[in-house]
Amino acid sequence: MATMADVARRAGVSAKTVSNVLSGYPYIRESTRERVLTAIDELGYELNVTARILRSGRSGVIGLAVPELGQPYFGELADEVLAAARRHDLQVLIEPTGFTRDGELEALREPRRRLVDGLVFSPAALDQGDAHVLENLGYPLVLLGEQIFSSRVDHVTMHNVEGARAATDLLLDVGRRRIALVGMLHAPTAGSARLRFQGYREALEARGLSVDERLLGWADDGWHRANGARAMAAVLDGVGQVDGVVALNDALAIGAMYELQVRGLSIPRDVAVVGFDDIEDARYSVPALTTIDPGRREIAEVAVDLLRRRLDERTGPGEPTRPPVLHVADLRLIERESTPPRVP
C-alpha cells in the first residue's frame, strides 16, 4: 500500500507538501496541487489516519456513550449526533453503557487511550455523588439530557421539570383528577425520572392537589413498553380507577395504552394519556400519542458543536478556555389523539 513518501516521489515534491495538500493548507501553487492529486490518484493512495493521529494527537473521532440504541429515543438521538458529527467531519465511536454504573465509568475511560478526542455522554446510572469523576478528565466532555452534575462541565439538557408539568397541566385542564404516573424508579440516581416526577407533583400542587402514592406506577426494570404495560396494570389493579396518565417516556406511554385498551378502556374518553420524548412511534401509535418534544435534534447539534469548539480550543495556543456552558433546549407540547382537545 502506497505511503505519502511514494506520492511525494512520484509528484516530485516533499512529503510535507503532500500532507499540506491533504490537510487543505491554502498556500499551495495550483500546479503543485494538481501534480500531487494526480500522483495520489495514480497510486490509489489513501491517507493512513492512524499515523496522522499519532503525530497530531487528534483523531477526528468522538465517543458517544448512551445506554442502548434499541430504545428509540437513544437510536434517534444517535442518528442526530452522527449527522451533526458528520457536518463537522468527525466520526463517532459508540459506547453502549447498558444503564449500568460500571458501563458508564468504563465509557469515561476510553478517551484517555487517545483513540477518541472527546466524549458526548448521556448518563443514566451515575448520580450526584459521582460528579467528581466527571471533572478534570483530561479531555473534553459534554453531558447530555439529564440533571446537572457539576458547574465545571458542559451540559446540554432539556426542560424535564417544565415538560412534565406541562403534560400534567394539560390533563388537569381537561378535567382529569385521578392522574397516574407511569415509570417511577426507586433508584435515587434516576435523573430524569426524578425531575419529571417533580414536574408532575408541582402541577398537582399548584392546583391544591397532592400526589396519591397509589397512582404511581413503578418501572425499575427500565423504560420499555413492557414495563409501561406492567406498571399500568399494577396501578389499575391497585386503585381501580384512573382518568389520566402521565408516562415518563413514550415507550412507557405506549405500553400503558396497550394495557388500558386490553381492559376495554377508551383513550382519551375514559383515560387520557401523555408521553415524553416524541419518538417516531408516538405519531403512529393507536391512538396517536400526545407528548413532549424535548428538542432532541437541538440537543444533539448543540452538543456536537460545543464539543467541537472545545477540541479546537485545545489546538489554539494561548486562547483562554471559555467557561462551562449550560444549554437547555426548548421543548414543545405536541397534542395528538390520546388527549381530548383543551376547551378554552
C-alpha cell at 139: 479531555
Residues sharing a CB contact under 8 Å with residue 307, sequence separation 6 or more, in sequence order: 62, 118, 119, 120, 140, 142, 154
Please tell me whether residue 115 binds DNA under the rule CB under 7 A.
no
Fill in the per-residue mask, 30 to 49: x = in contact with its own copies (CB under 8 A), - = not in contact. Answer: ----------------xxxx
Answer positive or negative: Cα dihedral of 158, 159, 165, 169: negative
Please tell me whether residue 281 binds its own copies under the rule CB under 8 A.
yes
Please tell me whether residue 286 binds its own copies under the rule CB under 8 A.
yes
**For the purposes of burial, counting CB atoms within 10 Å of the CB of 267, is it exposed (0-12), middle (13-18) or buried (19 or more)?**
buried
C-alpha cell at 316: 489554539
Q: Specify the stretch interacting with its own copies by CB under 8 A; choose among 32-40, 113-121, 155-163, 302-310.
A: 113-121
Q: Which of residues 29-58 bind DNA (CB under 7 A)?
A: 29, 31-33, 47-48, 51-52, 54-56
Residue choice 22, 94, 148, 333 for contact with its own copies (CB under 8 A): 94
CB of 254 closer than 8 Å to CB of 281: yes
Q: How far apart are the first and last CA of the chain?
A: 72
In the list its own copies, DNA, none, the entry touching 186 (Cβ below 5 to 8 angstroms by class) is none
CB of 191 closer than 8 Å to CB of 147: yes
Please tell me whether residue 261 binds DNA under the rule CB under 7 A.
no
In the list its own copies, DNA, none, the entry touching 70 (Cβ below 5 to 8 angstroms by class) is its own copies
CB of 72 closer than 8 Å to CB of 282: no
C-alpha cell at 117: 478526542
Please tell me whether residue 100 binds its own copies under the rule CB under 8 A.
no
Residues sharing a CB contact under 8 Å with residue 174, sequence separation 6 or more, in sequence order: 272, 339, 340, 341, 342, 343
Strand partners, 144: 156
Instruction: Give the distance from CA 22 to its chain's centroid.
Output: 33
Please tell me whether residue 69 binds DNA under the rule CB under 7 A.
no
Cβ proximity to its own copies: between 161 and 257 the closer is 257
| Angle value at C-alpha 125, between 246 and 82, nearest 5 degrees | 85
Please tell me whether residue 100 binds DNA under the rule CB under 7 A.
no
CB of 276 closer than 8 Å to CB of 167: yes
Cβ proximity to DNA: between 53 and 334 the closer is 53
CB of 125 closer than 8 Å to CB of 297: no
Q: Which of residues 215-274 bind its own copies (CB under 8 A)?
A: 224-226, 228-229, 254-255, 257-258, 261
C-alpha cell at 124: 443514566
C-alpha cell at 283: 405519531
| Angle value at C-alpha 179, between 144 and 284, nearest 5 degrees | 60
Cβ proximity to its own copies: between 110 and 162 the closer is 110
Q: Specify the stretch interacting with DNA by CB under 7 A; choose among 20-28, 128-136, 158-166, 185-193.
A: 20-28
Cβ proximity to its own copies: between 75 and 238 the closer is 75
Please tell me whether residue 117 binds its own copies under the rule CB under 8 A.
no
Q: Which residue has the cell 483530561?
A: 138
Q: Which of residues 169-198 bind its own copies (CB under 8 A)?
A: none
CB of 286 to its own copies, least distance (A): 5
Please tell me whether residue 59 binds its own copies under the rule CB under 8 A.
yes
Applying CB under 8 A, the residues found at the interface with its own copies are 1, 46-51, 53-54, 59, 61, 68-72, 74-76, 78-79, 82-83, 91-94, 96, 109, 112-115, 138, 224-226, 228-229, 254-255, 257-258, 261, 280-281, 283-286, 288
Applying CB under 7 A, the residues found at the interface with DNA are 1, 3-5, 12-17, 19-20, 22-23, 25, 27-29, 31-33, 47-48, 51-52, 54-56
